[in-house]
Chain A
Amino acid sequence: MQSLTDRSKIASDKKMSFLEKIYLPAIAKGMAITLKHFFKKKATISYPEQKREFSEVYRGQHVLKRDDIGRERCTACGLCAVACPAEAITMIAAERKPGEENLYREEKYAAVYEINMLRCIFCGDCEEACPKEAIFLTDRIVASQYEREPFIYGKDILLEPLDIEKRIDISKRQTESVLKFKENKRFAHNK
């Protein structure tokens, strides 16, 4: 049979030779290996001081985007909730009142938008489903908590701040090719 790696060894129950029987050479060999590891570079990342480098398109905590003049992009269509395989997203829609045009971009908006971070599997399907470019995953880590309740993130955490300076940068995930892909009307969710 062809082996998958060149390191595989065929097991046999042949009688051990004298050298194998006294174990000592094998023990020395094993000890040489552990000693080699003793002086090797350590794999540890000392977390709070050092941080692991993330991939550019890392999928972490979500952000609800605003448009250029600070209006919420989400229109509470519910496509993200439908797309979500973990059923982590819930929302309650509301109608925009006159005079709220500076707050919400569309006539309908999400009054409540919640993601259960314990359910979320960070697949990014919500982002892909969103027709309004409103939800994105970012390279931020979801903080640990002592209880379950705080893991249900509402709009207060998810929505990005109004201040232009403090907006969450998602350009890494919304590249040219992604935008181009989204324009392709062949795909159902881009319609």
Chain B
Amino acid sequence: MDWTLLLYKTIFLFIIFLITLVVAMYSTYGERKVAAFMQDRIGPNRAGIFGLLQPLADGVKMFMKEEIIPLTANKKLFILGPSIAMSTALLTGVVIPWGGMLNIGGREFSMQITDLNIGILYVFAMVSIGVYGIMIGGWASNNKYALLGAIRAASQMISYELAMGMSIVALVLTTGTLSLHEIVSQQHGMHWNVFYQPLGFLIFMTCAFAETNRAPFDLPECETELIGGYHTEYSSMKLGFYLFAEYINMFISSAVIVTLYFGGFNMPFIDQLGLSPNFVTLLGSLFFFLKIFAFIFLFMWIRWTLPRFRYDQLMNLGWKGLLPLAIFNIMATGVYYYFTELI
């Protein structure tokens, strides 16, 4: 047993866990601020300077709220729902390469918790399990609004997972690997995949919006028709978990988008600066997070710009728009590589 490696991984895992939670926490704050600014308001500014303690106050509020489990609800499943939503959201971060190699005391440590050779598939598996969190929660509530919301969520996520998977297939064709670390390494310099797969990127991003149940695809929780959707019956921190899982998902999917299409922790022109390798790695990680934050901002920006889709429009876009487009993208990529590789 390699104890140093184990220790390093444990500490690193803990750090990533913490960062994920803190980023998700402050995403809620960021969301409110962005929303306010886009509507010519100021947003939360009472708790702490610039309202920076607002997420803490919200958390305390969530914990203090009365915990209500409806009498007619299936108690076990009712508790299982948010747990699944939360844990799958957190599990995805394991395969994301947060940085390059770190040299500690003459040993190389990877800034990735585990480099699975099927990293992308793992991400997909986790995202798919995430549907269960919503589905079980909606079912266990024994409430028709919750059930409708859950059914919508499930069908929406399954529909968009298809197009998402197809857009990834085209990406895998260009990279030739499923390992996320490998994909990032290949994008070294300015060889970001977004330049090679612009269409794939667009499809992937649209699907990411749908997968995270964010506007304009936030049908599962549309307040106007379904009250709260799948979390109508939830209260206290169980509701908090659902809401929080959404923000974690947003963070993770931003990270995945950056990893797959925007060069991950690669920073342009970093090699020319002649810095020490460790510093370069840390700078790369920082740049990675900057890119993630830019995408989180994009998520919010779009949420506060676009109105929600109607359900049939959503299904139309998924099945008749994105899926054929993704398949076309695979074909085009395949044809391109078939001819260029031959010559």
Residues of A at under 8 Å CB distance from B? 24, 27, 30-31, 33-35, 37-38, 40-44, 46
Contact = CB atoms under 8 A, between A and B. Distances in A.
A34 B301 contact: yes
Interface size class of B (residues with CB under 8 A): 10 to 19
A34 B41 contact: no
Contacts of A31: 301-302, 305
29 contacts: A24-B202, A27-B302, A27-B305, A27-B306, A30-B305, A30-B306, A31-B301, A31-B302, A31-B305, A33-B305, A34-B38, A34-B301, A34-B304, A35-B38, A35-B301, A37-B38, A37-B39, A37-B40, A38-B37, A38-B38, A41-B40, A42-B37, A42-B40, A43-B41, A44-B40, A44-B41, A44-B42, A46-B42, A46-B45
A145 to B, nearest CB: 23
Contacts of A35: 38, 301
A51 to B, nearest CB: 16
Contacts, number: 36
Contacts of B38: 34-35, 37-38
A30 B306 CA distance: 7
Interface in B276-320: 301-302, 304-306
Contacts of B305: 27, 30-31, 33-34
Q: Which of A35, A41, A44 has the most CB of B within 10 A?
A: A44
Given A30-B306, A38-B34, A42-B41, 11 more contacts: A30-B305, A31-B301, A31-B302, A34-B304, A35-B301, A38-B38, A40-B40, A41-B40, A42-B40, A46-B42, A46-B45
A40 B142 CA distance: 46
A34 B41 CA distance: 12
Interface in B15-63: 34, 37-42, 45
A95 B302 CA distance: 71
A29 B148 CA distance: 33
Q: Which of A24, A27, A34, A42 has the most CB of B within 10 A?
A: A34
Interface string B193-208: 0000000001000000
Contacts of A42: 37, 40-42
A40 B40 CA distance: 7
Q: Which of A27, A33, A37, A41 has the most CB of B within 10 A?
A: A37
Nearest to A36: B38
Contacts of A33: 305
A38 B202 CA distance: 24
A184 to B, nearest CB: 46
Q: Which of A38, A40, A41 has the most CB of B within 10 A?
A: A38
